[in-house]
C-alpha cells in the first residue's frame, strides 16, 4: 500500500484501555489515543468497542444493527420480535456530519431470547445468539448485526476513527474497557460492516496486519457451522476465539498456543510434558493456526488480551498505571492519555492480559480457567 510515493508497511492502528477495577471513564480517552495515530489509517474504516456502557440494560443483549433501507429494517424486526422480547428499540444517537452523509440506518435493540426460540439449543442462550447473528449476517441482504453482547457495544463506520468517535458521540458514554481501530485495508473493501471491531456475543477484535491463513481458517471454522461473510480476514479471529474458549472450553493459555504457537524449532527447548502438550494442540487444532503478520486486541466483559504474531511483524506496546492497562500500536498513543508507571514491548507470541480484579477468566461464561499469570504465553 502507498500514500503518495511512500510505502507504509504496517498501516492500521489499534488501541485499548481497561480500568481493572471496573470504573467507567469517558470515551474521550480512547478517541484521543487512536487519533494520535491518524497517519496509520486512510479513512476507509474506524471503530470502537466499549464495555460497561449500558448499566441500566446490563442483563439484555444489545443488538447494534445496520440497515440499508426501511424495508429491510421492517423485515429484520419481524425476525427479532419472533425470537426475542424487545425491552427497548431506538436509533443509536449520532451527530450530524457531512463526513457520514451516506450512513446506513443504525439502530439498537435490547433483547432477551424467548423460551420457544431456545428450545432447539437446549436453553443455551449464547449458542442461540451466535447462530442468530451468523444467520442474519449471511442471509438477510441489507441488514448486518455488528454487535450482540451484553452491557457492551461496537460502533464503527467508513471514516477516520476520531471522526467515527465524534459521529457516535462516544465522549458521552462511560465504560471500563475501550478498544479502537483505524483501518488501512489492503486486500478487502472499505465498507461499514468491514470496519473493525468485529464482534460476536461479548467478544470483539481489533487487528493490525494480514491473516495469510484466512482460507484455511475459514474452512476450518465452517466445520463448526461458522459463516465468514464479511469480506475481511479479521473475521476469523473473532470466531476462532469464540470456538476455542466458549465452545471447546480451552484455557486462554492453550487458546493462545493454538493461534500463535512457538516455532517447531523451539519446542526442543521445552520440558517433555510441555512439548507434548503443545504438539498435541497443534495437531488437533491445525486449522486454527493464524499465519501472517498481526497484532490484535481481543476484548470481552472480563477484560482484554493483546497478542502479536510469533515473529512480531506488527508493533505492539503495553503499559500499566495503577489499575489501568494500556495497549497500542505506538508508545505515543499511550503517553498522550497517560504517564504510565511501567511500559514494555511484548515479544512475538507473548500475551498481555488485563482482567478485571476478581476475575479468573477472559470468557464471561467462566468455563476456561486461566489461573496464574500469563507470561510469554507463546513459549
Hey, what domains does the chain have and what are their CATH numbers? 2-53+151-355 (3.60.20.10)
Task: Summarize pLDDT for 355-373 with one digit per residue, the tens.
Answer: 999 998 888 775 444 443 4
Task: Summarize pLDDT for 54-72 with one digit per residue, the tens.
Answer: 999 999 999 999 999 999 9
Q: How far apart are CA 144 and CA 200, in angstroms?
A: 12
**Is the pLDDT confidence value at 9 over 70?**
no
pLDDT bucket at 2, cuts 50 / 70 / 90: very low
Q: How far is CA 278 from CA 255, 271, 291, 348, in A?
A: 11, 11, 17, 17
Task: Summarize pLDDT for 277-335 with one digit per residue, the tens.
Answer: 999 999 999 999 999 899 999 999 999 999 999 889 899 999 999 999 999 999 999 99
Please check whether residue 307 is in contact with residue 351, taking contact to mean a CB–CB distance below 8 angstroms. Answer: yes
Q: Which comes out higher in pLDDT, residue 87 or 361?
A: 87
- Give the max Cα distance, the chain: 61
Lowest mean pLDDT among 5-19, 29-43, 196-210: 5-19
Q: Which of 3, 4, 12, 226 is catalytic?
A: 12
**Is the pLDDT confidence value at 220 over 70?**
yes
pLDDT bucket at 268, cuts 50 / 70 / 90: confident
Residue given cell 496486519 in the structure block: 209
Cα 276 to chain center, whole Å? 31
* Phi, psi for residue 306 in degrees, rounded to 5: -115, 140
Closest CA to 318 of 306, 309, 310: 306
pLDDT bucket at 189, cuts 50 / 70 / 90: low
**pLDDT at 346 (0 to 100):** 95
Write out the E strands in the chain.
2-3, 6-7, 13-19, 25-26, 46-51, 61-67, 84-91, 105-113, 143-147, 152-157, 174-175, 177-182, 198-200, 203-209, 294-300, 303-308, 317-321, 324-328, 342-344, 351-355
Nine cell digits for residue 197? 471491531
Percent above pLDDT 90 for the chain: 74
| Residue 12 annotated as catalytic | yes
Note the pTM of the prediction, 2 decimals: 0.92
Closest CA to 132 of 84, 67, 71: 84
pLDDT bucket at 265, cuts 50 / 70 / 90: confident
Instruction: Provide the mean pLDDT of the chain.
Output: 90
Q: How far apart are CA 124 and CA 313, in angstroms?
A: 39
**pLDDT at 10 (0 to 100):** 55
pLDDT bucket at 229, cuts 50 / 70 / 90: confident
**pLDDT at 230 (0 to 100):** 74
Q: How far is CA 106 from CA 113, 147, 157, 175, 377, in A?
A: 21, 11, 11, 21, 39
Nine cell digits for residue 335? 503517553
Tell me the mean pLDDT in the region 259-269. 84
Amino acid at each position: 500500500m502507498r500514500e503518495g510515493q511512500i510505502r507504509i508497511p504496517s498501516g492500521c492502528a489499534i488501541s485499548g484501555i481497561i480500568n481493572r477495577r471496573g470504573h467507567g471513564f469517558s470515551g474521550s480517552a480512547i478517541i484521543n489515543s487512536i487519533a494520535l495515530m491518524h497517519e496509520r489509517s486512510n479513512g476507509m474504516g474506524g471503530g470502537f468497542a466499549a464495555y460497561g456502557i449500558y448499566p441500566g440494560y446490563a442483563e439484555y443483549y444489545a443488538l447494534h444493527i445496520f440497515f440499508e433501507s426501511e424495508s429491510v429494517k421492517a423485515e429484520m424486526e419481524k425476525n427479532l420480535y419472533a425470537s426475542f422480547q424487545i425491552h427497548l428499540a431506538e436509533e443509536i444517537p449520532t451527530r450530524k456530519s457531512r463526513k457520514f452523509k451516506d450512513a446506513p440506518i443504525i439502530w439498537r435493540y435490547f433483547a432477551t431470547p424467548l423460551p420457544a426460540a431456545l428450545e432447539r439449543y437446549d436453553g443455551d442462550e449464547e449458542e442461540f445468539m451466535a447462530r442468530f447473528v451468523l444467520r442474519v449476517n449471511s442471509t438477510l441482504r441489507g441488514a448486518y448485526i455488528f454487535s450482540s453482547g451484553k452491557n457492551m457495544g461496537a460502533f464503527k463506520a467508513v471514516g477516520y476513527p476520531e471522526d467515527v468517535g465524534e459521529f457516535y458521540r462516544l465522549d458521552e458514554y462511560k465504560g471500563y474497557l475501550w478498544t479502537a481501530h483505524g483501518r488501512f485495508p489492503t486486500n478487502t473493501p472499505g465498507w461499514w460492516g468491514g470496519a473493525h471491531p468485529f464482534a460476536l456475543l461479548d467478544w470483539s477484535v481489533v487487528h493490525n496486519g494480514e491473516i495469510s491463513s484466512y482460507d484455511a481458517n475459514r474452512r476450518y471454522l465452517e466445520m463448526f457451522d461458522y459463516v465468514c461473510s464479511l469480506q475481511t480476514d479479521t473475521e476469523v479471529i473473532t470466531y476462532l476465539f469464540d470456538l476455542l474458549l466458549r465452545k471447546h472450553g480451552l484455557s486462554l493459555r492453550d487458546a493462545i498456543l493454538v493461534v500463535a504457537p512457538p516455532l517447531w524449532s523451539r519446542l526442543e527447548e521445552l520440558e517433555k510434558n510441555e512439548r507434548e502438550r503443545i504438539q498435541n494442540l497443534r495437531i488437533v487444532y491445525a486449522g486454527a493456526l493464524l499465519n501472517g503478520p498481526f497484532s490484535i486486541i481481543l476484548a470481552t466483559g472480563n477484560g482484554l488480551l493483546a497478542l502479536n504474531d510469533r515473529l512480531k511483524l506488527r508493533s505492539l506496546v503495553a503499559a500499566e498505571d495503577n489499575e489501568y492497562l494500556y495497549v497500542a500500536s505506538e508508545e505515543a498513543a499511550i503517553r498522550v492519555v497517560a504517564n504510565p508507571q511501567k511500559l514494555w514491548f511484548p515479544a512475538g507470541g507473548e500475551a498481555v492480559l488485563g482482567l478485571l480484579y476478581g476475575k479468573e477468566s477472559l470468557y464471561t461464561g467462566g468455563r476456561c480457567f486461566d489461573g496464574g499469570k500469563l507470561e510469554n504465553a507463546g513459549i
